[in-house]
Amino acid sequence: MLSYAFTEEQEDIRAMVREFAEGEIAPLVEEAEKNETFPVEIMPKLGELGLLGIVFPEEYGGIDAGKITECIFVEEMTKVCAGITASVNAHADLASFPIYKFGNDEQRAKYLPDAIAGQTIGAYAITEPNTGSDAAGLATSAKKSANGYVINGRKNFITNGNICDFCLVAAYTDKEKRGEGISVFIVDRDTPGFEVTRKLEKMGHRSSDTAELVFEDCEVPEESLLGGKEGAFGALMEALITGRVSHGVKSAAIAEAALEQALKYAEEREAFGRSLSKFQALRFKLATMATKVEAAKALAYKAAWLYETGQPCVKEASMAKYFSAEVADEVTRDAVQIHGGYGYITEYPVERMYRDAKLASITEGTSEIQQLIISKEIGL
């Protein structure tokens, strides 16, 4: 039976994450955003607390606490900085989790302990310059060689691409099978032919590292094939589903953080002899914002509960990602409006939150793609 109540252990983890985010992350945000550089020094600290291994078993250094707990972690981190959280989440959710779920014992033993400890950083490379939402339309190929496979192709918008130690790379091993002919390779950063061609400057999420990668005659051993076999489209889709659940919570958290800033500003700012919070127009706007945030969080955590309990959640994951992205865009925009001129300058965090919110409707499947998935799931 679905329950929206968090356990005592989950609330303890929430308190720990909140303390860490406010004490360790918050002081780094301004510099990280200004320099557009992810603070890699936080990774071992997160690893020491077990926060990079929330969904992983203890044998690899995880705490085996489940998807809902991981979403709590994402929520509290995002409220402090969405950009930094994006890089952390890409490492744990997109790069490390597929190795655990679809990799073989040797791959798990080789990569997971250091990844969960924060000693290494992972990336997930599927998107290409000429393919975005059409995952099966990628052009990167991996051809069998005497020593393994030779990868050729270009990847774009890759989170952690510039700082990763290993990267999961999607490439065609059999083009005739379309999606089913896509395989995934675990490629170490120091592999010859693996090159970062440029670091990308972005409108938002500036503290998250994003890069363009090129694989030119990049030869990898057969052991790098995820799970030891060709054909891993299911692994890619699984990573996207769990990622969409996390994104639903992340977008709702951006909106909630903006709402909190707007409430604080409305209480403190005075106009015509009284605080803004006393004006009915603003009270109604804030009430609407708060309602949207709660609805987005409920939808996202329902998807997390379904995922954690092993139930089908393709529809719910897409609903959560789609709706929360729209809410984040609307609520952050209204938060900037409530701040007036101050909302437009970098001194106030709502300016950053407004820019960060835009990515939510683009990354890991646009809002239009989520609507397409939902429409199919409801029988259209």
Q: Which residues are catalytic?
A: 364
What separation in angstroms does the CA of 301 have from each of 32, 33, 215, 317, 366?
Answer: 29, 29, 38, 10, 20
Closest CA to 57 of 116, 120, 122, 12: 116
Which 8-state DSSP code applies to residue 379? T
Which 8-state DSSP code applies to residue 91? I
| Degrees, nearest 5: CA angle 73-74-75 | 90
Q: How many CB atoms lie within 10 A of CB 73?
A: 31
Residue-by-residue DSSP string for 143-157: EE-SSEEEEEEEEEE
286: Cβ contacts below 8 Å, ≥ 6 apart: 259, 262, 263, 266, 277, 338
Closest CA to 315 of 377, 362, 363: 377
125 bridge partner residues: 169
Measured on CA atoms in the order 225, 229, 233, 237, is the torsion positive or negative?
negative
Cα dihedral angle (246, 248, 253, 254), rounded to 10 degrees? 110
CA distance 205 to 280: 34
Hey, what are 303's tokens?
């998807």
Hey, what are 172's tokens?
């065609």
Q: Are 338 and 281 in contact (CB under 8 A)?
A: no
